[in-house]
């Protein structure tokens, strides 16, 4: 069953390649959705996948790229999926 989760990633996650790291992990785990920087210095990730895919993806997000630092991640289940994504993309 397809699920959606919105992650807010806190730490040193902007200007360190975190979004591109996230895109690589999304492809690795067949996740669809998007990633973008937010003005408060966090990174937002909206991900759709099976519970197993999302668990593996979330574990990777907690690690992040070597050049960054993840302090913590807030995860909110997206509820009913209004729009199903077909790819994983970078948003501005």
Q: Which of 37, 69, 83, 91 is catalytic?
A: 37
Respond yes or no: is residue 69 known to be catalytic: no
The reply to whether 70 falls in a domain is: yes
Respond yes or no: is residue 37 known to be catalytic: yes
Q: Which of 6, 19, 24, 36 is catalytic?
A: 19
User: What's 65's domain CATH number?
Assistant: 3.30.70.100
Q: What is the mean pLDDT of residues 52-73?
A: 97
Residues found in the chain:
92
pLDDT: is 17 or 80 the higher one?
17
Mean residue pLDDT across the chain: 95
The reply to whether 86 falls in a domain is: no
Answer yes or no: are the C-beta atoms of 78 and 8 closer than 8 Å. no
Distances 9 to 13, 66, 77, 83 between C-alpha atoms, Å:
7, 15, 15, 22
Q: How confident is the model at residue 79 (pLDDT cuts 50, 70, 90)?
A: low
The reply to whether 87 falls in a domain is: no
Q: Number of folded domains in the chain?
A: 1
Task: HSE, CB side, 13 Å, CA atoms: give it for residue 9.
Answer: 28
Q: What is the pLDDT of residue 1?
A: 84
């Amino acid at each position: 069953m397809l699920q959606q989760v919105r992650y807010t990633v806190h730490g040193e996650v902007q200007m360190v390649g975190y979004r591109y790291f996230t895109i690589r992990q999304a492809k690795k785990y067949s996740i669809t959705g998007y990633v973008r920087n937010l003005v408060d210095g966090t990174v937002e990730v909206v991900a759709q996948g099976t519970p197993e895919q999302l668990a593996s993806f979330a574990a990777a997000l907690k690690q992040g790229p070597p050049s960054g630092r993840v302090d913590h991640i807030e995860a909110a289940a997206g509820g009913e999926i209004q729009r199903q994504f077909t790819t994983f993309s970078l948003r501005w």
